[in-house]
Amino acid sequence: MESTFGRKFKVTIFGGSHEPEIGVRIEGLPGEAMDFDEERLQQFLDLRAPGNGPFATKRKEPDRFIVTDRALGPDGTGSLRAVIKNTDQRSGDYKKLADVPRPGHADFPARYRYGSDLNMAGGGPFSGRMTAPLCIAGGIALQALEKKGIRIGAHLLSVGSASDRAFDPLRPEIDEITGLVPGELAVLEEAAREKMASEIMNAKDEGDSIGAVIEVAALGLPVGKGGAMYDGVESILSPIYFGIPAVKAVEFGAGARVASMRGSENNDAYYMEGGEVAARTNNAGGLLGGITTGMPLIARLSFKPTPSISKVQESVNLKEMRAEQLKIEGRHDPCVAVRAVPAVVAATAAGLMDVLI
């Protein structure tokens, strides 16, 4: 199965969680971006890889990417294809689930949409594993954007009831994010890490899972990029964000809080600073009318709890059309957002690359 996003920077992700491989095709890659640092890209992928630390699934995948095709076209743009081999599948864990849909997963509607032949082991093409090829495309875009002075960073804003300090909307502290190593919690405040770890491990010990919010910021964006309505930056980024499995809500700037504000509170007043126009606040999150304002882009993504839990749940047997209780076996993240931080950075970078080309 394939899924594509992007207009000029076009990204197609293919494969499934328990297929021989997953991968990505990129079209419209600027020529200068073709010469990316492969070691840096692998280090970026390692942040998302499973099997690292107590907060992740025990499925151990090295996630080493292999470039299988690379070409530069006559128009100066390039194309690239890369794959990641799946090496640690345990499809047997999912055999008895073929006719019993897991609550919270795509199993039930996907069966009606694609039929019973689709390989849904490990979530199939709906699995969080599909964010690995997204990180290939986004990691390449990230390096290209950095050459233009654009930097992106993300952290766990909250896990359950535990919260980190939010980014300063005028000067997001992306250089202060700690825990940007495989298996760690990416946060601004060390105290938040301990509380989040406790929330995750308590849920795990109870055979349950927990949701979270990831906050992302992009610095150095020029003024005037994007467009009206469906050409807006929010319109371009949102479908990429929602393509990350488990994302249930996206907000930019002040987000849902604007519903309780007055215009005098929400509007970002302008002033002159060093001969340039600046805003005193950033409730808009760096975007007005879908166009970049030159202020930092701020977005937050809400992730649902991992639907695979070891508690007994109610379901149905679709073959026999009767009620059936279900207890899911296998290896699962107690909080999917922990390893989704680089995926959010990748999605932001890929979307902004499409905007800026």
pLDDT at 240 over 60: yes
Instruction: Tell me the helix, strand and coil percentages in the chain, rounded to 5.
Output: 35, 25, 40
Q: What is the pLDDT of residue 305?
A: 97
For residue 44, the one-letter residue type is F
pLDDT given at position 123: 86
Reported as a single tens digit per residue, the pLDDT across 249-258 is: 999 999 999 9
Top-confidence residue, 190 or 91:
190
The pLDDT assigned to 178 comes to 96
Domain ranges of the chain: 2-356
Predicted TM-score (pTM) of this structure: 0.95
pLDDT higher than threshold 60 for residue 237: yes
- Distance, in Å, from the CA atom of 157 to the CA atom of 78, rounded to the nearest integer, reads 36
Q: What is the C-alpha to C-alpha distance for residues 357 and 354, in angstroms, rounded to an integer?
A: 6
Superfamily of domain 2-356: Chorismate synthase AroC (3.60.150.10)
pLDDT bucket at 53, cuts 50 / 70 / 90: confident
- Does residue 198 or residue 89 have the better pLDDT? 198
pLDDT bin (cut points 50, 70, 90) of residue 122 is: confident
User: Average pLDDT over the chain, rounded to whole?
Assistant: 94
CA distance 190 to 61: 28
pLDDT, greater one: 55 or 26: 26
Beta strand segments in the chain, E = 2-5, 10-15, 21-30, 65-72, 77-85, 151-159, 162-163, 212-219, 247-252, 270-273, 276-279, 287-288, 291-292, 297-303, 313-317, 322-326
pLDDT, tens digit, for every residue of 302-311?
Answer: 999 999 999 9
pLDDT over threshold 80, residue 227: yes
Beta bridge partners of 79: 27, 71
**CA-wise closest residue to 218 among 274, 269, 292:** 292
> Is 328 in contact with 97 (CB distance < 8 Å)?
yes
Mean pLDDT of 95-108: 87
Taking the alpha carbons of 178, 179, 185, 190 in that order, is the dihedral positive or negative?
negative
Helix (H, G, I), strand (E, B) or coil at 212: strand
